[in-house]
């Protein structure tokens, strides 16, 4: 079968207004492969002629990433590293983020949110399911399914009782009126009125006294800019939950540091979703209308593949990947005005190969039978927070604790001295490109179109990635 043709890439996503005096960062979005909007590749400048000048061998000694980009392999004194460790490090270093000016990097803000119609457009194409399959992500069960332990877990999460809030739009005497008022409304209204009654907010529960949830953080309609994408479609869940940076000890953060790079400046890794969220494990998507839940399912499958991949990569680094084989490692909820679908997501690991699958846990209508199951998803989610999450977090920490402490390479920051800005395309040639043309949202502003380059195509190409940063030595 002939490889898919490369078609024009999607326009860059609109950026949020910048603070006064801040300079535009070019690292948070994927640039078009062709056209006038593509910034030219920066040639590797030679060292300035001065007393501080140094030759290439000295540069390679101090910057093994530069050596890897130039020679295709690590410097000799770095070749003893475990192959899994090197693979993860190369994934994060080879996809170096581009900076507008080496001396004036600006923070990446979380406000580059695409409109709802735009962010779901790629997923509306049925070919997206096939695209996921080419990346090893399948929206069905595997042949062997999940482990018995995960099956028992699903039953526990569904059946364990939980308290529910009293004065809400799901109160018995007003539940029917609530359902009637949202039956013809759009996603924004459904999210406002009932989404947090389907999937409760972890941070709100923590605020109201569930202190064990203080280690969690959540995002709302925010792009996962810090995760190495599976495709060029950036996940942007309606709601997601993961762990805060403060959940980890300083030693654990130091061990993770080589793998996450300069996360505040847009570097990407396997282990982060946003710049403040580590190891996401829950997403919720809301789509109303024809084929709404199918689209939401595709969005969730994409996001949760990245979430499960993070755990697999971490455990593979410490040679414990067998512990997560066929185990549910993340959850997703898709819902509309009346129906809810709950899934568990898990890996199937065969040697060095990993494939990702989903397990259907429960599907129901919360509007039928006088709202008999209106609190089912709410209780299930609270059980994730209370029962499953603490054990999951403990396992993550135990794996991080086993990471070696000697991965610091004394990598210098991007400065005028080195001028290193390796283009991703010259380092990664095995990422195929598939384009799904979509219709541009008629309500997009002219400013948005100018920012995006005016091309209403959506393509799946290479993601931006990370550069490892210097971490504390042990």
**Of residues 321 and 451, more confidently modeled:** 321
pLDDT at 267 (0 to 100): 83
pLDDT at 75 (0 to 100): 64
Count of all residues that appear for the chain in the document: 474
**Of residues 260 and 215, more confidently modeled:** 215
Nearest CA to 182 out of 167, 200, 170, 173 is that of: 170
Cα separation, 62 vs 417, in Å, equals 12
pLDDT at 66 (0 to 100): 66
> Residue 341: is its pLDDT beyond 80?
yes
pLDDT at 113 (0 to 100): 60
> Residue 5: is its pLDDT beyond 80?
no
> Percent of the chain at pLDDT above 70?
60
pLDDT at 295 (0 to 100): 95
> Residue 472: is its pLDDT beyond 50?
no
Q: What is the mean pLDDT of residues 462-467?
A: 42
Cα separation, 409 vs 470, in Å, equals 7
Q: Which two tokens stand for residue 171?
A: 């109160």
Burial of 309 (0-12, 13-18, 19+ CB in 10 A): buried
Confidence at 81, pLDDT banded by 50, 70, 90: low
Nearest CA to 263 out of 251, 249, 252, 277 is that of: 277
> Residue 26: is its pLDDT beyond 90?
no
Cα separation, 273 vs 467, in Å, equals 16
Confidence at 146, pLDDT banded by 50, 70, 90: very high
Q: What is the DSSP string of 386-440?
A: IIIHHHHHHHHHHHHHTS-S-----PPPS-TTT-----HHHH------EEEE-PP
Q: What is the mean pLDDT of residues 187-208?
A: 97
> Residue 407: is its pLDDT beyond 50?
yes
**Of residues 387 and 64, more confidently modeled:** 387
pLDDT at 131 (0 to 100): 94
pLDDT at 441 (0 to 100): 39
pLDDT digits (tens, 9 = 90+) for 84-107: 665 566 555 444 444 333 333 444
pLDDT at 261 (0 to 100): 84
Q: Which two tokens stand for residue 162?
A: 């939980």
**Eight-state DSSP code of residue 92:** H
Stated as kind and residue range, the H or E segment containing 349 is: strand 339-350
pLDDT at 367 (0 to 100): 95
Helical H segments across 22-147, by residue range: 56-62, 64-71, 83-93, 116-119, 127-134
Cα separation, 388 vs 381, in Å, equals 10
Q: What is the mean pLDDT of residues 103-117?
A: 51
Task: Give the least confident one: 128-132, 233-237, 265-269.
Answer: 265-269
Q: How many angstroms separate the Cα of 129 from the Cα of each of 187, 284, 289?
A: 23, 18, 19
Confidence at 174, pLDDT banded by 50, 70, 90: very high
Residues 6 or more apart whose Cβ sits within 8 Å of residue 163: none
Whether the CB-CB separation of 77 and 434 falls below 8 Å is answered with no
Q: What is the mean pLDDT of residues 134-146?
A: 95
**Of residues 171 and 56, more confidently modeled:** 171
**Of residues 109 and 211, more confidently modeled:** 211
pLDDT at 69 (0 to 100): 61
**Of residues 429 and 323, more confidently modeled:** 323
Q: What is the mean pLDDT of residues 400-421?
A: 54
Burial of 196 (0-12, 13-18, 19+ CB in 10 A): middle
Q: What is the mean pLDDT of residues 286-310?
A: 93
Distance of CA 410 to the CA centre of its chain: 28
Burial of 439 (0-12, 13-18, 19+ CB in 10 A): exposed
Distance of CA 147 to the CA centre of its chain: 25
pLDDT at 397 (0 to 100): 98
Q: What is the mean pLDDT of residues 129-136?
A: 95
Confidence at 38, pLDDT banded by 50, 70, 90: very low
> Residue 176: is its pLDDT beyond 80?
yes
Q: What is the mean pLDDT of residues 403-430?
A: 44
pLDDT at 233 (0 to 100): 85
Nearest CA to 8 out of 440, 454, 430, 459 is that of: 459
- Using DSSP's 3-state secondary structure scheme, residue 235 falls into coil
pLDDT at 229 (0 to 100): 87
**Eight-state DSSP code of residue 233:** S
> Residue 226: is its pLDDT beyond 80?
yes
Per the listing, tokens 């994060």 go with: 92
> Residue 10: is its pLDDT beyond 80?
no
User: Mean pLDDT in the chain?
Assistant: 75
pLDDT at 58 (0 to 100): 56
Q: What is the mean pLDDT of residues 404-412?
A: 57
Cα separation, 466 vs 423, in Å, equals 12
């Amino acid at each position: 079968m002939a490889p898919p043709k490369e078609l024009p890439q999607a326009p860059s996503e609109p950026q949020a207004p910048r603070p006064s005096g801040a300079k535009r960062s070019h690292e948070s979005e994927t640039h078009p492969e062709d056209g006038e909007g593509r910034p030219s590749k920066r040639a590797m400048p030679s060292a300035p002629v001065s007393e501080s000048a140094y030759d290439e061998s000295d540069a390679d000694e101090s910057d093994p990433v530069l050596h890897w980009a130039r020679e295709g392999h690590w410097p000799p004194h770095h070749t003893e590293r475990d192959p899994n460790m090197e693979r993860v490090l190369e994934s994060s270093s080879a996809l170096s983020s581009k900076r507008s000016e080496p001396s004036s990097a600006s923070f990446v803000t979380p406000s580059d949110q695409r409109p709802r119609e735009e962010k779901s457009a790629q997923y509306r194409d049925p070919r997206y399911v096939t695209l996921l399959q080419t990346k090893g992500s399948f929206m069905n069960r595997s042949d062997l399914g999940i482990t018995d332990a995960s099956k028992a877990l699903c039953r526990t999460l569904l059946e364990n009782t939980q308290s529910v809030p009293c004065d809400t739009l799901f109160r018995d005497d007003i539940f029917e009126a609530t359902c009637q008022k949202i039956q013809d409304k759009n996603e924004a209204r459904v999210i406002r009125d009932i989404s947090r009654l389907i999937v409760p907010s972890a941070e709100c529960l923590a605020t109201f006294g569930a202190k064990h949830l203080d280690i969690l953080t959540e995002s709302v309609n925010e792009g996962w800019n810090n995760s190495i994408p599976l495709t060029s479609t950036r996940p942007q869940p309606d709601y997601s939950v993961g762990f805060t940076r403060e959940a980890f000890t300083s030693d654990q953060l130091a061990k993770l540091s080589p793998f996450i790079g300069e996360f505040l400046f847009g570097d990407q890794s396997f282990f982060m979703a946003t710049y403040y969220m580590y190891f996401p494990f829950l997403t919720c998507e809301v789509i109303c209308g024809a084929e709404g839940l199918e689209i939401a399912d595709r969005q969730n499958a994409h996001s949760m593949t990245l979430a499960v991949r993070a755990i697999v990569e971490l455990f593979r680094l410490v040679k414990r990947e067998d512990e997560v084989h066929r185990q549910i490692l993340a959850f997703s909820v898709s819902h509309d005005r009346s129906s809810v679908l709950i899934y568990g997501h898990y890996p199937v690991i065969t040697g060095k190969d990993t494939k990702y699958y989903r397990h259907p846990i429960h599907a129901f209508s919360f509007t039928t039978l006088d709202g008999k199951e209106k609190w089912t998803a709410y209780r299930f989610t609270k059980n994730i927070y209370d029962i499953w999450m603490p054990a999951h977090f403990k396992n993550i920490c135990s794996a991080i604790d086993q990471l070696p402490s000697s991965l610091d390479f004394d990598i210098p920051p991007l400065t005028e001295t080195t001028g290193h800005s390796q283009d991703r395309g010259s380092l990664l040639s095995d990422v195929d490109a598939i384009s799904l043309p979509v219709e541009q949202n008629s309500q997009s502003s002219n400013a948005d179109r100018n920012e995006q380059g005016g091309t209403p195509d959506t393509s799946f190409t290479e993601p931006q990635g990370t550069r490892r940063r210097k971490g504390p030595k042990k």
